[in-house]
Chains A and B, each alone.
Chain A
Amino acid sequence: MSTVKIELRKDQIEKIHEFCDEFNNEHGELINVLHKTQQAFGYLPAEVQEVIADKMRLPVAKVYGVVTFYSFFTMIPKGEFPVSICTGTACYVRGAENVLSEFKKQLDIEVGETSADGRFSLSCLRCVGACGLAPVVLVGEKTYGRVAPDDVKEIIEEYRS
């Protein structure tokens, strides 16, 4: 449940309406609309879901049901530098858990959280398909391969400065 109440600007609402219209407001395209909207807003807060539901003439509960089913959709804004740790099997057996706990320690946040300054958020993902580089860490679009717990500090520093 989102705790922060946000107010959407008119142009933002229009933008969401555009996305819905682009897919003809077809109920079957809900997931595509959500993808497009999340791409534009970075996340899918309750208010945005309500606008989509209203426009597409769907119950809000249903939109929320879909959003909460898929792990790709998030209702929490990500940090400026979203850190994702691959916990696919290949990475797991090559020590991803230790890398993850080091990130938790260094950033002082749990998985799914964003640091207080809004700069870093931490998430896990399942296999980016770069198993040859296991364990793999993504910061934004950039991939770091064969990451050891000792490398974590350095990676974070890269973005702190």
Chain B
Amino acid sequence: MSRYSMHILVCGGTGCKSSDSDILVEKLKKELDKQGLGETVQVIMTGCFGFCEKGPIVKVMPDNTFYTQVKPSDAEEIVEEHIVKGRKIDHLLYTDPETSKHITDSNRMGFYKKQMRIALRNCGFIDPERIDEYIARDGYMALGKVLSEQTPEETIALMKSSGLRGRGGAGFPVGLKWEFARNNVSDKKYVVCNADEGDPGAFMDRSILEGDPHSVLEAMAIIGYCIGADEGYIYIRAEYPLAIARLKTALNQAREYGLLGKDIMGSGFNFDIGLKYGAGAFVCGEETALIHSMEGERGEPTLKPPFPAESGYLGKPTNVNNVETLANVAPILLKGAEWFSSIGTEKSKGTKVFALAGQINNVGLIEVPMGTTLREVIFEIGGGIKDGKKFKAVQTGGPSGGCLTEKHLDTPIDYENLVENGSMMGSGGMIVMDEDDCMVSIAKYYLDFTVEESCGKCAPCRIGNKRLHELLERICEGKGETADLDRLRNLGEVIKDTSLCGLGQSSPNPVLSTLDNFYDEYTSHVHDKKCAAGVCKDLMEYFILEEHCVGCTACARACPVGAISGERKELHVVNPDTCIKCGACLEKCKFDAVILK
């Protein structure tokens, strides 16, 4: 059917385009036409390959040849050598950094193993509203296997040896959590799925619920079997209507098939799941707060211990895991603990889903083995920084996390490394910042968030974060003093040390990590009253460009405080001491001579 026998794919991602990949396309087409191959070989511009460091990328199909750093001048050679004569061009081939050998078949490139989808295995593959498609991809096989072939103890032992840790925050070992809940004797126990994804910039849980809801239901039933619970709840944000709708559909289908309900698959095990809705409180991601919210109360956390595994929902032993954690359960049970623990680092096993956002080319969801470096994530998978700007920092872990910098780029990502460097895994949001982002403002932004989301129960979080925010505001307004920097640090450390729950214990992280990594930026705000990124308006001054000013006097007439001086037809000057930064001059100038810098 196809008219074309060969395709040349040229990366059209932002990074490659800026390295003239569009010119390359034109040249390739021209060369092909020259050889009379215009009708048999098609040149296609694709989306980003996610390998921008080595761009522009060219891939020749169907022989899977992967060329890197291709310049427009290489077009002729590609067409003549490869297309016409069928000889691969060695010097353009990708070189494996470990073996130093050219790789001719891109399927053998390590690059394609950078991402590995376990939790996201079905997202984007199956129709989430058809249980049959889930079953076709081994859905509910793990539940069936566990119910018919394994004791709860064996299952828990397997989870423990897999090394899976909670994907929602601190990374508590999952099998151990189940074991605690199992060992607490009670007439009633509950399984809770924490789907109150609240980190601004993280949306992996939503994607899983929308794309593969059954994987969560199956895992919850497995936990029910393991800990001895027959009732489960999914606590989900009311702001996720689509995920809620798909969950409802999935629940009905699972019930119709008898995969939820009484006597599941003839095992005698009963389990069903209900939905509880969050109502917009970030703190409810903390498990004790979540449980209070499920009980119809204000979502205020309580001190642990007692842990939910002892006394949770309605005072009964309760196991709480988040969505991504649950999505990992079935594959582990089917493929074994050994398989899972072979992925990742020594202490952090398996993969982690990250939501890449911010000043990065390929905003999106990715899943990589633990131990992948930030550089690989940002520059290879994420396609590098937007508009060719310079990387400045990456914020991981949401409002609880911290900002990591250039020097952390080659650190393998795992729970311990992130904490050691002043950040945390959190739910997996990764916000990339470039030279135009002011780190003091970023810290202020996060504090703004925590101040709004603090429940108000404990004093350090309720008042302390407010004070931190006030200090940052003053610094951004140019009112900061040297002593404020020490106060920021002391306050931050005390808030971390004394707050009641995880929210307060981590809320100063954005401040402390930026103080650690961008102290210069703080001092330049405080001492020089300058914001290099040009974000803090109060630290900027109005300035009239000599080359643009025609001396029309419009600005001087508009200025309400007489801060602009200058004779007609001569250069005008803003006196920064009298200027109140109202912006009237900038609005009035017809010659773009007034700027803010």
Chain A residues at the B interface, C-beta cutoff of 8 Å: 26-32, 34-35, 65-66, 69-73, 87-90, 92-94, 125-132, 134
Contacts and interface: CB of A to CB of B under 8 A. Distances in A.
B158 interface: no
Given A31-B293, A131-B355, A134-B357, A90 B431 contact: yes
Interface string B264-301: 00000000000011111110000000000111111110
Contacts of B203: 127, 129-131
A72 B299 CA distance: 13
A134 B355 CA distance: 13
Contacts of A27: 295-296
A126 B448 CA distance: 12
B185 interface: no
Interface of B: 197-203, 206-207, 238-240, 276-282, 293-300, 314, 355, 357-359, 363-364, 395, 398, 429, 431, 433, 437, 442, 445-446, 449, 452, 455
A34 B238 CA distance: 12
8 contacts: A29-B296, A66-B297, A69-B455, A70-B278, A88-B201, A93-B357, A129-B203, A129-B206
The 8 closest A-B pairs by CB, nearest first: A129-B203, A88-B200, A70-B279, A90-B357, A30-B296, A72-B280, A71-B280, A89-B201
A71 B238 CA distance: 11
Given A30-B296, A131-B355, A90 B276 contact: no
A57 to B, nearest CB: 13
B440 to A, nearest CB: 14
Contact of A28 (B239, B277, B295, B452): B295
A90 B356 CA distance: 9
A92 B198 CA distance: 15
B358 A70 contact: no
A127 B278 CA distance: 15
B438 to A, nearest CB: 10
Given A88-B201, A92-B445, A131-B363, 19 more contacts: A29-B296, A31-B276, A31-B279, A34-B279, A70-B280, A71-B279, A72-B278, A89-B357, A89-B398, A89-B429, A92-B200, A93-B433, A125-B239, A127-B198, A129-B207, A129-B240, A131-B201, A132-B357, A132-B364
A57 B281 CA distance: 25
B296 A72 contact: no
Nearest to A141: B241
Determine which residue in B199, B201, B364 has the highest number of CB atoms from chain A within 10 A of its CB, and name it. Answer: B201
A20 B501 CA distance: 32
A91 to B, nearest CB: 8
A30 B293 CA distance: 9
A70 B449 contact: no
B279 A73 contact: yes
Given A35-B279, A90-B358, A132-B364, A72 B201 contact: no
Chain B CB within 10 Å, residue with most, of A26, A71, A73, A125: A71
Nearest to B299: A69
A35 B452 CA distance: 21
Contacts of B446: 89
Contacts of B207: 129
A111 to B, nearest CB: 11
A105 to B, nearest CB: 13
B281 A66 contact: no
A89 B279 contact: no
Nearest to B198: A126
Given A89-B358, A89-B395, A89-B398, A71 B295 contact: no
B374 to A, nearest CB: 17
Nearest to B449: A126
Contacts of B294: 28
A132 to B, nearest CB: 4
Contact of B200 (A30, A66, A89, A94): A89
A35 B298 CA distance: 14
A93 B403 CA distance: 14
A106 B446 CA distance: 27
B231 to A, nearest CB: 13
A89 B395 CA distance: 10
Contacts of A125: 239
Nearest to A56: B296
A73 B429 CA distance: 26
A149 to B, nearest CB: 14
Nearest to B293: A31
Contacts of A92: 200, 445
Central interface residue in B276, B300, B358, by most chain A CB within 10 Å:
B358
Contacts of A88: 200-201
Given A72-B239, A126-B449, A131-B363, A66 B298 contact: yes
A131 B429 CA distance: 11
Nearest to A93: B358
Contacts of B296: 26-32, 66
